[in-house]
Amino acid sequence: MTENGVAPVGMGRRTRARRVATTAVLLATAMTISLAAGCSTPDDKRDDGRAPERERTQSPEQTPTATDSVLAVKIDNVRKAKPQTGLDSADIVYVEQVEGGLSRLMAVYATKLPDVIGPVRSARESDLELLRQFDEPTLAFSGAQRKLLPLIDQAPINPQPPGETSDAYFRGTDKPSPHNLYLRPDRLIPAAPGADALTTGFRYGTAPAGGTADTSETVQYPAASFTFSWSESRDRWLVSQDGAPTVQTDGKRVAPATVVVQYVNIRKSEYHDSLGNYTPYTQTVGSGKAKVLRDGRAYDVDWKRATAADGTEFTTSDGSPVNFAEGQVWVVFARAA
């Protein structure tokens, strides 16, 4: 018996003012931490030296808590984790660089919940800053480096690693461990909260004036690449990674309506492995340049996110807001020159 193509084995919103205050405390705490623990290496190695999946005492009959905020899921993106499940149901897919020059995804769900999502993998320090634009989001992840766990527990999010909620996760037989951990999202939230939960600052509507015709864009990480090819027939950007089409376990090609290549500062985090390899920290608060792909055209724009509690504004050179096409958005964080 399969579950969305995966064969299983075993198993109140707060105010933004409060979130801003919490952000200041957590960022100050993060700056004092230095860690010697394992980090991600090539996909046939150990992941990131995360703490063992924490087992919490929860009754088997526990039911999901009603929420009006999004579900964010950390999704494994190395070769052995593919194809993935439930990715096309996400409203937003964030792409971040991790150790070894590899990539990881954070999929954000607000308007639709698939039956299964995964494979689920571990969280990073950058995720806490990125998630503060949402009101108490639920974060599904498989673990984190030991000294990051207290910051996750203190952050204005609802952390949901395995063991937190009964029967939310299961191991599949389609991939080797640790690339086979899957999530049943309806065990964490009863229903999709709706588009109003997407407090990202993104705007949707008519395309801005100008732009240039563009049918293909590639973003290169040290050990991963992403190519977005415009499909006139589908009116979408077809995603390829490392030269291969990105498809799901159901065979469907992943195809967002809008792609944002956002140029950001990627620096060393406070965390490193036993060999001294630091986890990259993707800084999403600040300002810079971006390229927006929609409708077969590319637009060079500016981005600004004033504080961690704010969404990100994208504007043209004259300060006009940039609208995205209706549908899924991929945001690829690329290193600024």
To the nearest whole number, what is the mean pLDDT of the chain? Answer: 86
- Which range, of 4-13, 37-46, 168-177, 326-335, averages the lowest pLDDT? 37-46
Inter-residue contact 273 to 99 (CB < 8 Å): yes
Which two tokens mark 28? 């100050």
Q: In the chain, how long is the greatest CA-to-CA distance?
A: 57
Of the chain, the percentage scoring pLDDT greater than 90 comes to 73
Inter-residue contact 14 to 136 (CB < 8 Å): yes
Q: What is the CA radius of gyration of the chain?
A: 19
Confidence of residue 18 (pLDDT cuts 50, 70, 90): very low
Q: What is the DSSP letter of 93?
A: E
- As a whole number of angstroms, the distance between CA 297 and CA 117 comes to 31
Nearest to 322 by CA among 291, 285, 287: 291
pLDDT of residue 31: 35
Confidence of residue 337 (pLDDT cuts 50, 70, 90): confident
Of the chain, the percentage scoring pLDDT greater than 70 comes to 80
pLDDT of residue 53: 47
For the segment 154-163, the average pLDDT, to the nearest whole number, is 96
- As a whole number of angstroms, the distance between CA 172 and CA 118 comes to 10
- As a whole number of angstroms, the distance between CA 112 and CA 120 comes to 18
pLDDT of residue 270: 80
For the segment 182-211, the average pLDDT, to the nearest whole number, is 96
Please count the residues of the chain. Answer: 337
- What are 249-289's pLDDT values in tens digits? 999 999 999 999 999 999 988 876 556 667 899 999 999 99
pTM score, two decimals? Answer: 0.85
For the segment 149-172, the average pLDDT, to the nearest whole number, is 95
- Which range, of 58-72, 128-142, 296-310, averages the lowest pLDDT? 58-72
Inter-residue contact 144 to 47 (CB < 8 Å): no
- What are 93-127's pLDDT values in tens digits? 999 999 889 999 999 999 999 999 999 999 999 99
pLDDT at 5 over 90: no
- As a whole number of angstroms, the distance between CA 280 and CA 333 comes to 12
Confidence of residue 131 (pLDDT cuts 50, 70, 90): very high
User: Between the ranges 136-150, 257-271, 285-299, where is the mean pLDDT highest?
Assistant: 285-299
Which two tokens mark 231? 């499909």
- As a whole number of angstroms, the distance between CA 177 and CA 275 comes to 24
pLDDT of residue 52: 44
State the amino acid at position 250 in one-letter form.
D
The sign of the CA dihedral 156, 27, 53, 39 is positive
- What are 35-86's pLDDT values in tens digits? 233 334 444 444 444 444 444 444 344 566 567 899 999 999 999 999 999 9
pLDDT at 194 over 90: yes
pLDDT of residue 269: 84
pLDDT of residue 275: 63
Which two tokens mark 189? 């939230």
